[in-house]
Structure 1
């Protein structure tokens, strides 16, 4: 006969992690290795602290006698921290053996947890070969969109298999879709038809068509010495199909970077920057049609169009906004220029934009982004840089209908060294509230988000990073931010922990 002299041990407890899901904060629970018996008529009390609230709560024994649990007060705003403890003096197994525990600081069970404002989604992985899932080798900035049903769609330049890698170029474009906790790849990795094995792709942009199918714009180089060609593909299940031929002619100035949007009728609109200006095309009745002439301000030998991507947004009534950074002469650094397509031509919205406009030879605009308010007015954001030394701040500009209202959305501590990029993004929710993300931090870099949890504006640190990382922003159906970040070849996605 075997005599049981081993008491029950704790097999699991929750919440009890540094990154706890908000849904896990509703219940305090401990589960034992075997059914337990309570010496007292009542279950033990748990002492709980969540942020600055402290209270005691009676635990309840489960029907199978394996768990003790109680309901907790959930935090109103995140991030939040919590802790709890419970005496186990009156807990034994059914044979009367006392529960095992760490004797210091007494016969108690302890919990501790932290609930961040943003939670991580599952890492992007897919089957390169049947039955073997691997993570994407992301080069450069990921592109992100959210379907009306909540599924996430990302497009990345995947550098898997490349012998020589850099920060921007991949071997093929890969598009993934996350529904629930499962990633699926849409079609095979792709490049333009007839692409050589050594061809590289970069700078993907992503938008969802009126049918919900993704459209991707990207740059492709067929060799290290070749100029970039701009291509646009549309997902037509079960394959990716090109929308026309390359957009830029071989004799045109090579594209620096590209922007993509859908107009109010669901037609793709593409803009790209080059040394001679910014071009805008719209897919209309099976062909790419130019919207006006090449856009630029300066015409003299000292004028320079920024190598940053232009920015696009639509006004909801057929109009299109485009913005780009340009130094109009050798006497100034780049300012921001915004123009509106009204169906017949381009109209400038105000003059050049620069927050520190009294020092146009010291400050310059970098990485502009655009969004549109519900009433059709544009919002522009950009990083403002002091020469090439440091990023002074991120600027948010709202068009009133006749003038721009500018504000700096960063603090001094959120400045950034010049060799890093700020990666500003902007979106507007259904209430007309402006949401932004950016990289900042003088001593160490962090990803920040300006958003509205529980209808309150907050600027929060989403994650810390060792360097400035490429980011993209989209909004879900509730107007909450979804953020994609590429770092060291991997892709991370964060969304509110609610």
Structure 2
């Protein structure tokens, strides 16, 4: 065919095509290796976070990608509970769900196809966390210094809610700064003091409603406030008494320490003398309670130690018209009576007071105050290991006078030094200090200018007295020493202990460096001087330094009677004092032994 003819045919066909309709073509479905692929839907969790906790509405949010589904459902533990519409968000109320761990899934449908999201676990928790264990226990009043303060809860807490503002500590009127720290597992809070916890003050910890568990439930408040007390002194073991506390009446006690520095305590109750020793874990009786001889009544006892640290017990007994004193020594297994009973040397005489020295410096010495219708005196007898010997001549006393704070100590040579206050009817009360020189009684009372209440003699023979004296027109407690010719004040008067009254230096002891250590007490009530508090003060070479805070009775009790005070080898004070239930219809008393809380 010629070129001219070909061109003619091309133009004819081109004109014909302008009148033909060409249908739109649908793109073919995707193929994968020659296999047609169906449309798909992708479901991705945006909220909640994995392992979320909730106690109410829970934000459900899904990211839906790919083809548009016909519907999206929320399933809980495989059961549909709600529809999710674009933008596929829902504030789902979980109150309809039972508490515990639940599994969420989202399900999308597209035609006959079903698409499911990954599982997302949540925990529904509407129960408030409870305090399970508190340390110290609520109401505790014998909390040692340094006791860890923490509380354990029934479930983990949300870390961000535990702060120094949501866990509050208080001790009115003092401010105690503490840090609150949540444990790694979230189930306990430790409270770390940044300042010392005050002694004898009630501490309180309040875990506020701001503290929540992981689901946002506030901590349930305890049934009673979480309070406790750190006392200045801790009770050694349990209170001591015999029989029933309702029938217990004890007014005086003695405390000493044995060769192992274990405290030994004696008291008289129901005409029996009781002696117990602390073995480090409990109080154990030294033998059975001691009673008087046949037809006698035991009404007073005194405790000391011999040079080997064995307990010595003197007991004052009535024997018909006469009184007698028995001295016993603990052998380790039984009480051994030393010699024959001591009796009054005066015709028709009675024994009104008894004292006992230790046998640490010299053989033990027993002294007693005796009188009859015309005469009064103090008599001394010493046990030389086999019999009683006379030590010095009797110390004459004023017949009819009232003698207060009568007591004695021995110097390094075993010579007694007595001090007492004498009150004669119609005359001012006066103080006396008498010292046995080896041949006669020396009166050291001149210039004393006060009323002695306690005494001690140092290793070099210096006589110390604790006393009440008028200082600038007011009665003050102070210590004076005899320098061989005059009385010299040891430091300033002791300050008030607890804003009380009737301050008295009850006893003086010497520490391992021969420094005087005093136990002073004062009345808490102007109407009952027997209710008292006390404090230990140590001479620091230029001033009296307080050893701990004042010793106070436990909750619902009152200290009363005469305290007993001793320093073990470590110079840490031990105090024995009777306490009574207060207020109470009956006098219910027991012996309390205290050690410094440090």
Is TM more than 0.5 here? yes
| Equivalence for 2:328 | 233
Residues 307-346 of structure 1 mapped to structure 2, 5 A cutoff: 307-308=403-404, 310-326=406-422, 332-333=427-428, 335-342=430-437, 344-346=438-440
**Contact in 1 for aligned 2:273/2:289 (Cα 8 Å):** yes
For 2:258 and 2:184, the matched residues in 1 are separated by 41
| Equivalence for 2:364 | 268
| Equivalence for 2:251 | 140
For 2:203 and 2:273, the matched residues in 1 are separated by 43
Q: What is the Cα deviation at residue 136 of structure 1? A: 9.0
Q: Aligned Cα RMSD in Å?
A: 4.1
Q: What is the Cα deviation at residue 473 of structure 1? A: 1.7
For 1:157 and 1:28, the matched residues in 2 are separated by 40
Cα distance change, pair 184–38 in 1 and its aligned pair in 2 (3 A): same
Cα distance change, pair 182–43 in 1 and its aligned pair in 2 (3 A): same
Which structure has the larger Rg? Answer: 2
> Mean Cα displacement is larger for which, 226-235 or 464-473?
464-473
Residues 305-454 of structure 1 mapped to structure 2, 5 A cutoff: 306-308=402-404, 310-326=406-422, 332-333=427-428, 335-342=430-437, 344-348=438-442, 350-352=444-446, 355=449, 365=451, 368-382=453-467, 394=477, 396-405=479-488, 409=494, 414-416=500-502, 424-431=506-513, 432-440=515-523, 441-443=525-527, 445-452=531-538
| Equivalence for 2:132 | 11
For 1:77 and 1:423, the matched residues in 2 are separated by 25
For 1:111 and 1:24, the matched residues in 2 are separated by 18
For 1:478 and 1:74, the matched residues in 2 are separated by 27
For 1:293 and 1:258, the matched residues in 2 are separated by 17
Residues 30-429 of structure 1 mapped to structure 2, 5 A cutoff: 30-32=151-153, 34=154, 36-40=155-159, 44-45=163-164, 46-48=167-169, 55=177, 57-61=179-183, 66-73=187-194, 75=196, 78-80=199-201, 82-86=203-207, 89=210, 91-92=212-213, 98=217, 100-102=219-221, 111-125=226-240, 137-159=248-270, 171-192=271-292, 194-196=293-295, 199-223=296-320, 226-249=321-344, 251-252=346-347, 253-275=349-371, 276-296=376-396, 303-304=399-400, 306-308=402-404, 310-326=406-422, 332-333=427-428, 335-342=430-437, 344-348=438-442, 350-352=444-446, 355=449, 365=451, 368-382=453-467, 394=477, 396-405=479-488, 409=494, 414-416=500-502, 424-429=506-511
Cα distance change, pair 293–110 in 1 and its aligned pair in 2 (3 A): closer
> Mean Cα displacement is larger for which, 46-55 or 243-252?
46-55
Q: Deviations over 1:87-112 (max 9, x none)?
A: 5656438xx584641399xxxx9754
Cα distance change, pair 336–121 in 1 and its aligned pair in 2 (3 A): same
**Contact in 1 for aligned 2:145/2:597 (Cα 8 Å):** no
Superposition TM-score, scaled by structure 1 size: 0.74
Cα distance change, pair 400–110 in 1 and its aligned pair in 2 (3 A): same
Q: What is the Cα deviation at residue 220 of structure 1? A: 0.5
Cα distance change, pair 148–69 in 1 and its aligned pair in 2 (3 A): farther
Per the alignment, in what secondary structure is the counterpart of residue 350 of structure 2?
A: coil
Unpaired runs of at least 5, structure 1: 160-170, 357-364, 386-390
**Contact in 1 for aligned 2:411/2:417 (Cα 8 Å):** yes
For 1:304 and 1:39, the matched residues in 2 are separated by 78
Q: Does 1:463 align with 2:561?
A: no
Q: Paired residues, what number?
A: 445
Q: Deviations over 1:229-286 (max 9, x none)?
A: 1121111132111111112247552211111112454521111112221112211131
For 2:239 and 2:420, the matched residues in 1 are separated by 32
Cα distance change, pair 42–101 in 1 and its aligned pair in 2 (3 A): closer
Cα distance change, pair 411–89 in 1 and its aligned pair in 2 (3 A): closer
**Contact in 2 for aligned 1:279/1:293 (Cα 8 Å):** yes
Cα distance change, pair 293–332 in 1 and its aligned pair in 2 (3 A): farther
Cα distance change, pair 89–336 in 1 and its aligned pair in 2 (3 A): closer
**Contact in 2 for aligned 1:8/1:97 (Cα 8 Å):** no
Unpaired runs of at least 5, structure 2: 1-97, 101-125, 581-586
Per the alignment, in what secondary structure is the counterpart of residue 194 of structure 2?
A: coil
